[in-house]
Amino acid sequence: MLSRIDHIGIACFDLDKTVEFYRSTYGFEVFHTEVNEEQGVREAMLKINETSDGGASYLQLLEPTREDSTVAKWLAKNGEGVHHIAFGTEDVDADSSAIRDKGVRVLYDEPRVGSMGSRITFLHPKDCGGVLTELVTSAEKH
């Protein structure tokens, strides 16, 4: 069951500058940073609030690490802005296969490694009203 907004992914050209904007404007602090080479991103997670399912909601600030990455391609076309939304679930495998059965394209056969050791997959934006949608099971749930 999808039980929270896990994060909103925001694409930017300069991660350090964007982190500073969120810190100085809103007071949000960096909770975690990492590089995900498979996805071609350097990211900062800003924890916004905890959620009733025992998880949390974050902003995920994303800077591309290479020009052929999905985020670099998206930035070249659209400029900076909201790139995806992610719903949290205890069982990304069950939820993604149930959603696939409804005719929505799930981009990966098996979930891949996401932020903070999570398991993630994506739904095609063209099947989701123009919204790139991610499903996440956080590390402590698998």
39 belongs to the catalytic site: no
- Pair type for strands 112-113 and 41-50: unpaired
**Is residue 10 within 8 Å of residue 18, measured between CB atoms?**
yes
Which span (14-22, 24-32, 34-42, 93-101) binds ligand V0V, by CB under 6 A? 34-42
Structure tokens at 54: 């025992």
**What backbone phi and psi angles, to 5 degrees, belong to 129?**
60, 30
Q: x/- binding map, residues 39-78, to ligand V0V, per CB under 6 A? A: x-x------------------x-x-------xx-xx----
The end-to-end CA distance of the chain, in Å, is: 14
Residues lying near ligand V0V in the complex (CB under 6 A) are found at 9, 36, 39, 41, 60, 62, 70-71, 73-74, 83-84, 86, 107, 114-115, 118, 120, 122, 124-126, 130, 132, 134
